[in-house]
């Protein structure tokens, strides 16, 4: 485990050192942005819509019973901004994009294409890892920025149409405006940026250390997804504590 952590940190440092050469890899970054961002946008919106709806459906009747249904908009707004949107979208991206990154780089490693790049004096970190890291670091916060208002809208729809809750759109968004501010949205975007770096570096590292043919590729994909999700949840706790400390 410590050996892998050391390799991941070294790979991350090498990626940072390759940043000045990013302009030469801009076409690969554009391709990855389209694959990670645009191709995932529809799924992100569907997921966020139902997350907001389920959150309202679960908490709305309880708040109504205690006579505090007016705070429902602010509660769903904060939950989507600070926690649910960044974590759930990061898990979605880890499963969809992290697995693809690991499989692509892993297959190149197994079939000795990365050795061929080194033979041609092409740095694999600059050619393969850097574009993917930059693209996911840009795409995930943007996806989260889209998912937050969609989740709000899903929660507002359930609150308005569910007779047990009966909180109108106007009341929902009025309370949301009173409670949620720009700092809460930036909180979620910062988390998603850190999650994106974690997903990208773990997936690329698993691809680069792939051994053993097609079976090894499958193992690397599984490890990349599982390790990314575990690290997302661990980082979420420590980032939450850090942001709460900063806001005091």
Q: What is the pLDDT of residues 171-183, one digit of tens each?
A: 888 888 888 888 8
Structure tokens at 123: 């740095």
Confidence of residue 228 (pLDDT cuts 50, 70, 90): very high
* 105 in a structural domain: yes
Smallest Cα–Cα separation from 69: which of 180, 175, 177, 179? 175
**Do 107 and 151 form a contact (C-beta atoms < 8 A)?**
no
Q: Is the pLDDT of residue 35 over 80?
A: yes
Domain assignment of residue 74, given as a range:
24-247
Confidence of residue 225 (pLDDT cuts 50, 70, 90): very high
pLDDT at position 37: 85
pLDDT at position 93: 93
Give CA–CA dist 54/62, Å, rounded: 13
Percentage of the chain exceeding pLDDT 70: 100
Confidence of residue 39 (pLDDT cuts 50, 70, 90): confident
- Pick from 10-14, 114-118, 229-233: least confident: 114-118
pLDDT at position 2: 85
* 117 in a structural domain: yes
Domains of the chain: total: 1
* 227 in a structural domain: yes
Strand boundaries in 172-244, DSSP class E:
none
Percentage of the chain exceeding pLDDT 90: 50
- Mean pLDDT across 28-36: 89
* 2 in a structural domain: no
* 135 in a structural domain: yes
Q: Is the pLDDT of residue 94 over 80?
A: yes
Top-confidence residue, 76 or 248: 76
Q: Is the pLDDT of residue 148 over 90?
A: yes
Q: What is the DSSP letter of 123?
A: -
* 7 in a structural domain: no
Q: Is the pLDDT of residue 248 over 80?
A: no
* 17 in a structural domain: no
Confidence of residue 159 (pLDDT cuts 50, 70, 90): confident
- Mean pLDDT across 94-109: 91
Structure tokens at 9: 């940190």
pLDDT at position 193: 95
* 76 in a structural domain: yes
Q: Is the pLDDT of residue 247 over 80?
A: no
- Pick from 14-28, 111-125, 157-171: least confident: 157-171
Q: Quick one: 240 exposed, middle or buried, by C-beta within 10 A (0-12, 13-18, 19+)?
A: middle
- Mean pLDDT across 88-110: 92
Q: Is the pLDDT of residue 50 over 80?
A: yes
pTM score: 0.92
**Do 204 and 11 form a contact (C-beta atoms < 8 A)?**
yes
Q: Is the pLDDT of residue 163 over 80?
A: no
């Amino acid at each position: 485990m410590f050996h892998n952590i050391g390799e991941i940190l070294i790979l991350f440092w090498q990626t940072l050192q390759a940043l000045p050469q990013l302009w030469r890899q801009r076409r690969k970054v554009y391709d990855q942005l389209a694959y990670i961002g645009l191709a995932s946008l529809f799924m992100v919106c569907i997921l966020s819509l139902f997350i907001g709806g389920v959150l309202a459906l679960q908490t709305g009747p309880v708040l109504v019973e205690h006579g505090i249904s007016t705070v429902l908009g602010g509660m769903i707004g904060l939950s989507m901004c600070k926690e649910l949107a960044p974590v759930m979208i990061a898990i979605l991206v880890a499963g969809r994009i992290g697995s693809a990154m690991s499989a692509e780089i892993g297959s190149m490693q197994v079939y000795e294409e990365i050795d061929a790049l080194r033979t041609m004096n092409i740095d694999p970190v600059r050619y393969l890892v850097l574009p993917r890291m930059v693209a996911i670091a840009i795409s995930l916060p943007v996806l989260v920025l889209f998912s937050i208002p969609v989740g709000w809208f899903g929660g507002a729809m359930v609150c308005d149409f569910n007779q047990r809750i009966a909180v109108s759109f106007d009341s929902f968004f009025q309370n949301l405006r009173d409670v949620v501010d720009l700092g809460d949205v930036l909180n979620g975007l910062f988390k998603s940026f850190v999650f994106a770096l974690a997903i990208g570096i773990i997936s690329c590292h698993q691809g680069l250390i792939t051994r053993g043919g097609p079976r090894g590729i499958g193992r690397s994909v599984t490890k990349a997804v599982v390790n990314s999700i575990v690290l997302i949840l661990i980082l979420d706790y420590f980032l939450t504590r850090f942001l709460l400390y900063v806001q005091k």
